[in-house]
Structure 1
């Protein structure tokens, strides 16, 4: 027998998805697990769910998951990300952009759900200068130690327009774009993604092709809330910036780029998360791997496994496990001339890291 590639990292299967393709996962401080399913062409019966006794249940209920054209602010359209903040709230990020369309007017929103009552507590919508016609809201992180009610930081991973980090003042809902179109939030024009040994690009049903380009996607926040780590989806680079500079609207966007720090290559990542010690965890979708980046910049691979077929979103549970959604995103029909190469089930996996999630308060 010839030598073969070595795989490592003790992954455990948490849940298998036989229906729609999931993207987001978040584990609450009490161990509840929430997932979301954006409307990318699959039959999505509910876009947010909780895994309860081995079953998917629409969350907070089915009615909220049914688009109500008469009340789009109180119904979910197409949710890309969910985030349990560690203090009793599940935050739901609704792109309002099914199939990557232009966001439905007034539909893009950040929704706070009380985990004790399972009811919507607050909805933040966005002005047209924050969510552009090209915007695709992707992921969100929080810090409740600044301002009266805290701040949220959202990545815009647009494929057609400028990438950005959208800063939201949770006291008054004021939202503004930062690093709009900056190199650090933009796709790397020289990056050629290769997954499962093949070049990943848009391959259309008419035979035409184009490069796969997505802007800022992965985002993580340091345990003290002072640094945001972020990365474009089509790039191998990791960047950071101080949250104080992001929030300071007196710094013009043109000058804000000088506050960005470059951390080097970490592999091409979708989601990222930080633990309580400041370690950053990031997927490497080109190499079926999960990386850990220490605060001093040293990088190690904690899992390399053929089952890690596109590691999407990460979450750290109170059980000190790192949870990851694996969803075969690269096998979607849009990359293969209209032929869907995904094989069910999609997976929610976990690996023991013996660290707690970074606090938000």
Structure 2
């Protein structure tokens, strides 16, 4: 599942990246790896295992992969979990395979949490798979049945708090023809498995229908995508105090205290009143955060990762690359780097008037953030 890198080729690319970054007044991003499939979510475990989802938009055969130190990619947690069918052609028990995965996050207890939205055919009940990456064994599965998940649920990303034994999922609300109106957050107690759906219909979860996705604005390649996506990016700060989240089509990032959203005694209405409007932003997908609480946002239409400085709460472009076409997940790894991919969604036939221009190699980029952070966030 991996395309070997050419040292000469990547050196030349690095020089071009550096020049482009200087021209755009941003820090350089370097090509860290190349794969033959589009990248969705990314996370690093504490024992430095690089885990990522192949973007489910393309219905990949392998849902989740691990990038090895030698440059190879192997299915994660194993090959058996990628295939829904037994050797005789019958369906496996849904507990034994992955169906539709975008969000992957490592916690600080050695687990990789895989968010399976279950929406690929044949559909299955959405679930969370916690895989012990230190001992290579299943820890637990938590199912997210109706009404926690709905027909329009597209479970995108997640944030994990060991302090509160709570996991929060961003549900974009765009499956099965949904237009984001059913977007919400799903709050899961990781000890008991008890889950609840909150903030559905709240402004912090809903898209702005006057704010379409503009691809490559101001260039000859500019085009408009009338896709409206609710709660999308989500991240918890390193102190596990504030949970940040945002709809994709919205000019605001919101936040709420993790203690509040984890409090099972608060009603949905009470939770909604405790949500704060944090800062303005462009149309963005993934979110990450560093140790100084600077927020990083993948700007899906502009081949850019931006930053909201914690001191000013002002957005600016941070790193750019012409091949960073639709960066999605973004996450901190070892050695102080932040990683993102390029899913090339605007080049796909579905979003390009039937003309498929997306093609391998698909890039994984890395860049230096303003400060270091917790691996996996």
Query: TM tier, shorter chain?
Result: 0.7 to 0.9
Which residue in 1 is equivalent to 2:201?
Answer: 181
Indicate the residue corresponding to 1:282 in structure 2.
297
Match of 1:239 among 254, 258, 278: 254
- Structure 1 or 2: more strand by fraction: 1
- Give the SS at the match of 2:372: coil
Instruction: Report the alpha carbon displacement of residue 359 of structure 1 after superposing the two structures with TM.
Output: 7.5
Q: For residue 199 of structure 1, what is the aligned residue in structure 2? A: 223
Match of 1:88 among 91, 107, 110: 110
SS in 2 for 1:308: coil
Secondary structure of residue in 2 paired with 1:184: coil
TM-score (norm 2): 0.84
Task: Give yes or no for contact 2:308–2:314 (8 Å, CA) kept in 1.
Answer: yes
Counterpart among 61, 77, 80 of residue 45 in structure 1: 61
The offset of 1:255, in angstroms, is 4.1
1:286-301 matches, cutoff 5 A:
286-296=301-311, 297-301=313-317
* Runs of 4+ that moved beyond 4 A: none
Which one is further off, 317-326 or 290-299?
Answer: 290-299
**Equivalent position SS for 1:172:** coil
In structure 2, the partner of 1:155 is 170
CA distance in 1, matches of 2:101, 2:253: 25
* Contact kept in structure 2, 1:109 and 1:126, CA below 8 Å: yes
Query: Which residue pairs with 2:12 in the alignment?
Result: none
1:315 aligns with 2:315: no
Alpha-carbon shift at residue 38 of structure 1 (Å): 4.1
Query: 1:345 & 1:357 partners in 2: Cα distance?
Result: 29
Which has the larger share of helix? 2
Deviation at 1:119, TM superposition (A): 1.6
CA RMSD, Structure 1 to Structure 2 (Å):
2.2
User: Please, what TM-score do these two structures have when normalized by structure 1?
Assistant: 0.88
1:17 to 32, 35, 41: 35
Aligned to 1:325: 341
Q: Take 1:24 and 1:41, find their aligned partners in 2: how far apart are those partners?
A: 14
- After TM superposition, the structure 1 = structure 2 runs for residues 64-75 of structure 1, keeping only pairs within 5 Å, are 64-68=81-85, 69-75=91-97
The aligned residue for residue 104 of structure 1 is 123
* C-alpha separation in 2, matches of 1:300 and 1:151: 31
Aligned with 1:336 (options 323, 342, 352): 352
Count of aligned pairs between the two proteins: 340
- SS of the residue 2:34 aligns to: strand
Q: Structure 1 residue 6 and structure 2 residue 59: aligned? A: no
Contact 2:94 2:124 in 1 (8 A): no
Q: Does 1:143 align with 2:161?
A: yes
Distance 1:245 1:360, change over 3 A: farther
Q: In structure 2, what is the Cα distance between the partners aligned to 1:355 and 1:171?
A: 32
- Structure 1: 5+ residue stretches without partners: 202-210
Cα separation, 2, equivalents of 1:353 and 1:23: 20
Aligned 8 A contact 1:321 1:354 in 2: no
Provide the C-alpha distance between the structure 2 equivalents of 1:308 and 1:237, rounded to a whole number of angstroms.
23
Task: Name stretches of at least 5 consecutive residues in structure 2 with no aligned partner.
Answer: 1-19, 86-90
Q: Which of the numbers 250, 257, 260 marks the counterpart of 2:275? A: 260
Question: 1:67, CA displacement in angstroms?
Answer: 1.3
1:318 Cα offset (Å) = 2.1
